[in-house]
Structure 1
């Protein structure tokens, strides 16, 4: 829970966080969240304890637990999922080490760092300590010549398209992308880990590039290298002849042992620096060329598509409004009708992900009001949503926060801890559970074993959650308000 809180707060504020966890047990309880922060580039310093004595050498009143210290130290349990770790053995330079952990977590590519500090150091009496100077590195900026080449490609392109996933972690990058789309009439597609691009912008064409990839002559993937928009990786070469350019702080995704996504060019840069520079280069080249007619024609065509897509989604939702069980499209349509830009959406959904993207769009026109809990960069595991939502509520107390959960994801969350914390610290938030009484992802195995035993017998172990509990009642034991509506259609 503490790491999910820190993740949510960091996502909402862009500020690194420090978490103190209880020795080995706290570290292991937070193992999945630690991996999630590593994958999602969340800057957090995690400090855990350990003991180096047991026979009263330092303090006889200390608890006698040997089982809270790992042979070889706590660090070795999670070293794959931290940028840097240390176990200081002296208080002489302890602040320098803590400061270094903070700086490394905050430097690009951001991520968690770990300090394992013994009880012996914590009990040591220190009369004075030196506060070290701090010097944070500047953000990563691309080679100017690479941006110039990209600007030239964009000017010459007949149908460039942009795809992003986590560009919205920087409001500056969002503003630059809006200006970029305006001056060149470039369509933008996304998987919204954050609010990347306003959904009411006429160049927002949704969430699936596949219908456009075959026509495109340039595909610019910005801040989406962690999960590009096609799979298998090489399939894009069969489906499109477009030039492919990746722009990311880590376009090669060096944390993965394999990564076969093809590109004709990879630009390593902070998009909040690269995009404003790219905008200026494009403006300069436009003034020297004659592409106004091409850009205007593209704007008119794509603006019509933007409206047609939204109208189709709306018709599909209205078509199922009277269905029972409730259709997810209608539920999302209704949520969209009552939200505005004062409401923050935190979603931890898998099965209905694209339905949520399509139909809950009204508030997604300003930075900082949309967050994907279980993987803004790449999927990192269920069970984080409530903690992330509460972390965002702490960061934005003036906003109303809604957590969207599937019943499967809800079961993975530390529900009692989440609602208890919300009650204790007066952090009101709304949870909406999309309860389809099942773990739908497990039934997807049918596509791999269409003639298997489950298909033949109709038996699916671990798929159905029946009898389904009245999840809403949980809020009531913490003095919360609850309602249970009809079950959601699978």
Structure 2
């Protein structure tokens, strides 16, 4: 093949390795990439689609949402160390959420006298030259590497993507200076085989046998999960196990739908609520499947003699300095593979059918009672105001099988799950991390990957401002990926206030009227989106306004416009 620049080879290799989108915030280190993109356009060669992102955190959040919705890694391009730092909390979210994303950053040119093509020719090339650019994000990356020559670039990219996509998944970081990107190298093809992730791990026979024994002997077993549903087929496998053995499932800080909420074995989700879960307190066998924080020991924990089994795609949690569970058996294994093994093992055994049926009736009754309690909370408020529960119930009427919800409700995380009552695997996404501002970019990325789906971002007023809505909605209009944002507006940062009160309710914090968390005077959130992206927008505060506003918002979506519904749901 004819020679080409390393930049052209980079773009060609990403295309050959299955990357569809380049979420880019470009700078002085990227002229070789821009030249390669334009040459390909002139010649009609296919390359990943360039998505211009005015903000780097939005770019990575969009790649995050895109990867979750499509199950495939995407790429982010940023400008040297400045752009790397501007990725901000999205780096944390991608790492903690175990999302495969390839981040590529330029680097200041290596030469300053014109020795090589691409040598320094702007003052910032000295200012942006730092000792350890990779060190800015190394603690969050599964792999990082500086590309020094183009001759082995396809192999380097394949290795990076293989590491990103192998369990536990996560982001990877590559960089190259301009001289390297301008270097001419022989034409090469990437080999997708080298990028294939490692095969999933199965349970060892000894643990499989012990776990099957424990579940058959248990009087009150319980399953806890948080992110098993990242693989939709694992949801059905969990459903088969919980149905066969009549084992209730509780979610702890879920970042996806792990069991349909209408399944009789589903018994809710718990986040930071300072209450003991009664099912966890009574369980004699607890199976933890893919969960970083299955319970918070200071307020909610299993009984002391409970037998705990732990199966996780990331069982050691090596990225977390302090973490332990106390399980008698723990395995780093693929949840779907483990559940299929367990299902086959249980089919070979005589089961305690009478005990299982008694338990099934009891759990189904608890599920029905929970549904009644949730329905009571959804009643239209008598004072004419809007509660989060009522808002979610109204929104639920507009949800269909193709709806995807990006949940960044923060203090309303559990409310969203409880009252939207989603049932389709893959219909609920959350960042999996703790850096706010994810939902706007993520919803845009979901819309790019799943055109035709109804995409809804649910967030607080604080997380909406964190999301850089001016960039998000400009991108949504430019790339025709509209989505609905519903803001649970309580006038400020409610979650930090709740954290402070949890420790100091009887102290000065509890007596204070203003903790510096109010957003008064209130921003016009909808106007930001309208000005930046031509979005439909409205602010409401009365219950009788909810249904008309939702109808108008979804009508705007049907016309190809993004929509922002700013809902006053109480005061801080």
- Shorter-chain TM-score tier: over 0.9
Partners of 1:250 and 1:46 lie apart in 2 by 22
Q: CA RMSD in A?
A: 2.0
1:434 to 488, 492, 513: 488
Partners of 2:126 and 2:308 lie apart in 1 by 52
1:76 to 135, 141, 145: 135
1:274 equivalent to 2:332? Answer no
> 1:172 Cα deviation (Å)?
1.9
Partners of 2:188 and 2:169 lie apart in 1 by 28
Q: Give secondary structure in 1 for the equivalent of 2:259.
A: coil
Kept in 1, the 8 Å contact 2:158–2:190? The answer is no
Match runs of 1:55-134 below 5 Å = 55-57=113-115, 58-59=117-118, 62-66=121-125, 69-129=128-188, 131=190, 134=194
Partners of 1:447 and 1:292 lie apart in 2 by 44
Kept in 2, the 8 Å contact 1:23–1:68? The answer is no
Partners of 1:204 and 1:110 lie apart in 2 by 27
Kept in 2, the 8 Å contact 1:216–1:240? The answer is no
Q: 1:313 maps to which residue? A: 374
Q: Give secondary structure in 1 for the equivalent of 2:504.
A: coil
Kept in 2, the 8 Å contact 1:50–1:68? The answer is no
Q: Bigger CA drift: 183-192 or 59-68?
A: 59-68
2:279 to 207, 212, 216: 212
Q: 1:236 maps to which residue? A: 301
Unaligned ranges ≥5, structure 2? 1-57, 271-275, 542-567
> 1:181 Cα deviation (Å)?
1.3
Q: Which structure ranks higher in relative contact order (CA pairs < 8 Å, sequence separation ≥ 6)? A: 1
Q: Give CA-to-partner distance per residue, 1:86-143, whole Å, 9 cap, x none.
A: 1121122122112111111111111111111111111112233364561542112221
Change (3 A) 1:221 1:70: farther
1:178 equivalent to 2:239? Answer yes
Match runs of 1:282-301 below 5 Å = 282-285=346-349, 288-289=350-351, 291-301=352-362
1:388 equivalent to 2:446? Answer no
Q: 1:195 maps to which residue? A: 257
> 1:413 Cα deviation (Å)?
0.8
Kept in 2, the 8 Å contact 1:345–1:369? The answer is yes
Kept in 1, the 8 Å contact 2:410–2:459? The answer is no
Kept in 1, the 8 Å contact 2:102–2:173? The answer is yes
Q: 1:54 maps to which residue? A: 112
1:415 equivalent to 2:415? Answer no
Partners of 1:453 and 1:192 lie apart in 2 by 33
> 1:470 Cα deviation (Å)?
2.3
Change (3 A) 1:77 1:60: closer
Q: Give CA-to-partner distance per residue, 1:7-52, whole Å, 9 cap, x none.
A: 0011112212222222222211113211211111111111100021
Q: Give CA-to-partner distance per residue, 1:236-280, whole Å, 9 cap, x none.
A: 35x453211111012221111111322121121000111111111
Change (3 A) 1:435 1:189: same
Q: Bigger CA drift: 390-399 or 13-22?
A: 13-22
1:13 equivalent to 2:91? Answer no
Partners of 1:470 and 1:31 lie apart in 2 by 25
1:148 equivalent to 2:203? Answer no
Partners of 2:255 and 2:215 lie apart in 1 by 25
Q: 1:372 maps to which residue? A: 430
Q: 2:6 maps to which residue? A: none
Partners of 1:43 and 1:34 lie apart in 2 by 11
Partners of 1:60 and 1:277 lie apart in 2 by 58
Q: 1:345 maps to which residue? A: 405
Q: Give secondary structure in 2 for the equivalent of 1:206.
A: strand
Partners of 2:404 and 2:74 lie apart in 1 by 21
Unaligned ranges ≥5, structure 1? none
2:223 to 142, 162, 166: 162
Partners of 2:477 and 2:134 lie apart in 1 by 34
Kept in 2, the 8 Å contact 1:215–1:240? The answer is no
Q: Bigger CA drift: 417-426 or 477-486?
A: 477-486
- Runs of 4+ residues over 6 Å off in structure 1: none
> 1:353 Cα deviation (Å)?
1.5
> 1:456 Cα deviation (Å)?
4.1
Change (3 A) 1:447 1:368: closer
> 1:358 Cα deviation (Å)?
1.1
Q: 2:92 maps to which residue? A: 35
